[in-house]
Structure 1
Amino acid sequence: MIRDTLLYLGVRALNGIMALSTLAIMTRVLSPSEYGQYALGVSVVSSGGAVLLQWLSTAYSRFHSDQEGRADSALVSTTLQIWRALALALGVLASIAAAFGPHLGVSPTYVLAVGAGIVTMSLFTLQLQFASARAEPLRYGRLTVIRGASFIGLAAPICYLFPDATLAMLAFALAAFLACLLSGLPAWPRAPINGGLARQLFSYGTPQMLTFFCIALLDTGDRFIIASWHGTAAVAAYAAGSDLGQQTLGVLLGVVYLSGFSRAVRAWEQEEHSNVKQILQTMATAQLMMAGAACAVVFGLAPSLASLVFGGNLAAQAALIMPWIALATALAAIRGYLLDIPFQLQKRPGIPLRIIAFMALLNWSGNLYLVPNYGALGAAKVAAFVMLVGLLISYGLGRKAGLTPALGLDALKVLVCTAVTTQMHEVVSPAQAPTLGFLSLTVQAIAGCLLFVLLALLLNVGQLRRQVFDRLQRRML
């Protein structure tokens, strides 16, 4: 698991650099209003793809471990055939929606670009799921790197010359398609669809559509509420800060999930329940430490990070909300990438659905109360509170199910490490933080991470001292 984690981490680190570069470029070449409209389009792509097509990817991942050789080829073939039918239906819906665009004050071309983005990103996500389920981190990396590089190569010059949200969305859609094409698409199926496999995929996956719908309400509803009260320009700083958190914290914790989930599924199918608990414990330690160290960097260096990454029009506003967004992202990632795994293994999707539905209701209520008066900062605080509530509920139910490891003491230790490291950042550069250059910021961030690790060793988070000692002992023998 450690080897695959490091491979995925290397891939995600490279992708993170490209994602940060994309944020830096797009927040500079687009005005706040255009960037806000672009961010809303990306939100629709993410939400629409999740609700309509993401269930297919998760269903394939769940049943992949049961298939081998020709059986897996049949599963891939069936999955692609279902995707093709759904993509065609979505294209028709996008064309109809584009016809009504002018009546809603939206460009038909923009609507079509968003529809194309949903289709191509769903295919891209499906290819990622194939690579992840088969434990192919190199192919996973190739897909993501090509997509990131393609988007930068397309969007940067186009939006520099013609700063327009529609053109940015077209580049977004085309980059996902190029990544799939250049990474090698599986042979398109010609045989009749396998009815038995299709029923399995539908029976497991389609109930998750409601879950993904609630996730969409939870993840993107705040942006549309902000836009409705304060305009698309007000969305820009919030979206930029949220995307930065997702491309750093979300990516880090997702790496552990990618490397550990397939192993947990195999252990569960082989009824090795003690091994499942050990895998989840290892994942928990890694995720808690990554989340704590990353949050400490954002808490202590938010003005510097915002000044370095974002354009001058967004940096000051983004810096105010980044600590809250970082906390919300960490809590959401730990819940989704760790605490919901027992329910996935037990094939009980109804539990996460009810949790997320409650969180979505709480999130919308909080946003409708705070956003009119407090704008993006109010939305960020609501997000952090809602994610904490969801995490606690998921943790309690997982403990009751008997699979989630006890995390209370380790979480408390990580909080101590985070608080001390954050204080170090604030003491070292309280006044200079907004003007720290790239080199100074990098050095201070690395120093903070090293301090965090030393504190974690001192407090023995997740039996870390024993793990380090055992690893050193094996290397010496």
Structure 2
Amino acid sequence: MSVVLTFLINTIFNLIVGLIVAKFLGPAEYGKFALSIAVMTFGQTLAFEWIRLSAVRFYSERARIDAPNIRATLDSAFVRAALLYLPVALALAFLGPAFSLPRDLFALACVAAMANGLFDYQTALVRARFDDRLYIRVIVTKNLLALVVTTGAAWATGSARAALIAGMTTLLGSVFLWRGRLTDKSAGLKQSDPRLARHYAGYAAPIVAAIVLYQLIPLANRDLAARFFGFAETGRFALSYDLGQRAVMAIGSALDVLLFQIAVRAHDVHGAETARDQIARNIAIVFAVLAPACVGIWIVLPSIEILIVPQAFRGPFAHFLGLMLPGLFCFGLAQFSINAIFQLARKTLPLIAAALAACVADPVFILVLPRGTDASSLAIAQSLAFGVGLATLLVFASFNAPQWPRLRDLALTLIACAGMAALAGPMRALRPGLALMLTQMFFAGSFYVLIVASFDVAGLRTAFVEKAGPAAERLSRKGGLFKILLPLRLG
């Protein structure tokens, strides 16, 4: 649980740093910075994500002791990937076709992809070993450096280039400061096994291909926003997506850390049938958490905008994020629940097919939708494309003999979300601020919790009671509403 908490804290820090950087850079420079980050993420995924995924899947504390060739193979793969990636990426940056992003920023983004890839790879190794203390220390170090160095560079220069260089410095600095604990001295590069590397690449390739294809959609849309409306519009468009995506990914990833491992354990210990049952429960849980989270974000958007979004981004921020939220929900549901059906069955090609469908749908929707004076059509097209990806994935899943969640749980979740919107949605017309946001959260949250507790939606009440243990039992004996909502077997 400490790793999950650290992951959430890391997301919050990234959110804070992103908002501060956006404030100091302004919409135009932040647009360049955000497009650079999208290029960086795309390059990192393309070149290095397969190594991170392999580390999570195949490395462990036991492997560190008994099979040092695994770490050696992973380290060797990273070095080789970096040596191949860097000249190709820089050649594309300076000699390839012109993009809306200036060539020097494109080159910096390519170099930043290596830094971010190294950081994510090293933290994946630590997580795979379940070394919670070291993981927390590396993450905290990175966040503190980012809070000082990255935001300081943005404040001092107002330059996207300086902020990007500072961001690289924080990543490499945290790895350098903890290099002694991160290095596995027993795993020299000479112990690497090319056969293992090919096996790892084969395992991760379909997953990486799907991620890359999905990343093309917001990357292309940011580039189009810059071409059609300028970098200032790109900055406003990108900040909306970045904050919304981080919120959805934080919730989904926190669930995935626990739920997917439970499904894997069920598959290994009890077999495929038990694993399918667990995946069905996982889908219901993700749906029951992610849907109200997205509805809740929409409800409090005006207040969030006033409270945390820099002045230069207000107005377009809430508008764009409101249009993007349905797509972010579809993407999160696919990534953190439906994908598991194919991962456990080791049939990951449908992930690529779904991502391809989304990539094809995005430009089609862009062409069909009328283009206005801002990037609204791009936001709508992006949401619809992610919806197409989810629908395609569900079609493929239906041919894989899955165990689906109970319709009762899905229907109750939708009813509860509709009740949230009906209770707190009209308050959006009132003057936004902290008091209004807390009021909306109280009414919407209380209604949703009441529905979940009354009907045990997705088994969340049962899970809470089992976790609460004796404390919940003592409360249940006192009577009142809490006793009514708890399972009768506690009495």
Aligned residues: 469
CA RMSD, 1 decimal: 2.8
Give the corresponding residue for 2:361.
362
Cα distance in structure 1, aligned partners of 2:461 and 2:208: 43
Cα distance in structure 2, aligned partners of 1:394 and 1:404: 15
Whether 1:25 and 2:38 are equivalent positions in the alignment is: no
Q: How does 1:422-441 map to 2 (within 5 A)?
A: 422-428=421-427, 430-433=429-432, 436-437=433-434, 440-441=436-437
Show CA shifts across 1:106-140 (max 9, x none): 65542332122100111122123223434445544
Whether 1:326 and 2:325 are equivalent positions in the alignment is: yes
| Counterpart residue identity of residue 266, structure 2 | A
Cα distance in structure 1, aligned partners of 2:160 and 2:370: 24
Q: CA deviation at 1:408?
A: 3.7
Distance 1:151 1:72, change over 3 A: farther
Cα distance in structure 1, aligned partners of 2:101 and 2:379: 27
Give the corresponding residue for 1:291.
290
Give the corresponding residue for 2:164.
169
Q: Which runs of 5+ in 1 are unaligned?
A: none
| Counterpart residue identity of residue 87, structure 1 | A
Give the corresponding residue for 2:77.
82
| Counterpart residue identity of residue 48, structure 1 | G
Give the corresponding residue for 1:37.
32
Cα distance in structure 2, aligned partners of 1:182 and 1:447: 46
Give the corresponding residue for 1:254.
253
Give the corresponding residue for 1:158.
153
| Counterpart residue identity of residue 119, structure 1 | M
Select the residue among 184, 194, 208 that pairs with 1:187: 184
Cα distance in structure 1, aligned partners of 2:466 and 2:98: 67
- Secondary structure at the residue paired with 1:150? helix
Cα distance in structure 1, aligned partners of 2:96 and 2:108: 12
Give the corresponding residue for 2:456.
460
Q: CA deviation at 1:333?
A: 1.1
- 8 Å contact kept, 1:46–1:118: yes
- 8 Å contact kept, 1:23–1:310: no
Distance 1:242 1:301, change over 3 A: same
Show CA shifts across 1:173-220 (max 9, x none): 222222333344223633242122122112223454533331222342
Cα distance in structure 2, aligned partners of 1:143 and 1:369: 47
Q: CA deviation at 1:317?
A: 0.4
Cα distance in structure 1, aligned partners of 2:214 and 2:100: 27
Q: How does 1:65-464 map to 2 (within 5 A)?
A: 68-100=63-95, 109-183=104-178, 184-187=181-184, 189-270=188-269, 272-370=271-369, 372-373=371-372, 375-406=374-405, 408-428=407-427, 430-433=429-432, 436-437=433-434, 440-442=436-438, 444-464=440-460
Cα distance in structure 2, aligned partners of 1:463 and 1:383: 33
- Secondary structure at the residue paired with 1:401? coil
Q: CA deviation at 1:257?
A: 0.9
| Counterpart residue identity of residue 176, structure 2 | L
Show CA shifts across 1:202-245 (max 9, x none): 22234545333312223422211222211211111111111111
Which deviates the most, 179-188 or 319-328? Answer: 179-188
| Counterpart residue identity of residue 202, structure 1 | A
- 8 Å contact kept, 2:216–2:359: yes
- 8 Å contact kept, 2:361–2:388: no
Distance 1:70 1:385, change over 3 A: same
Q: CA deviation at 1:443?
A: 5.4
Cα distance in structure 2, aligned partners of 1:300 and 1:264: 33
- 8 Å contact kept, 1:230–1:375: yes
Cα distance in structure 2, aligned partners of 1:181 and 1:371: 50
Show CA shifts across 1:430-468 (max 9, x none): 2212xx13x653454355333322222234311334444
Distance 1:290 1:137, change over 3 A: farther
Give the corresponding residue for 1:12.
7
Distance 1:428 1:52, change over 3 A: same
Cα distance in structure 2, aligned partners of 1:464 and 1:215: 31
Cα distance in structure 2, aligned partners of 1:51 and 1:180: 22
- Secondary structure at the residue paired with 2:369? helix
- TM-score w.r.t. the length of structure 1 is 0.89
Cα distance in structure 1, aligned partners of 2:292 and 2:408: 17
Distance 1:267 1:104, change over 3 A: closer
Q: CA deviation at 1:65?
A: 7.5
Q: Which runs of 5+ in 2 are unaligned?
A: 474-489
Q: CA deviation at 1:75?
A: 1.4
| Counterpart residue identity of residue 417, structure 1 | A
- 8 Å contact kept, 2:50–2:204: yes
Cα distance in structure 1, aligned partners of 2:61 and 2:12: 36
Which deviates the most, 194-203 or 39-48? Answer: 194-203
Rg larger in 1 or in 2? Answer: 2
Q: CA deviation at 1:81?
A: 0.8
Q: CA deviation at 1:90?
A: 2.2
Cα distance in structure 2, aligned partners of 1:419 and 1:211: 32
Distance 1:367 1:104, change over 3 A: closer
Q: CA deviation at 1:78?
A: 0.6
Cα distance in structure 1, aligned partners of 2:162 and 2:18: 16
| Counterpart residue identity of residue 460, structure 2 | L
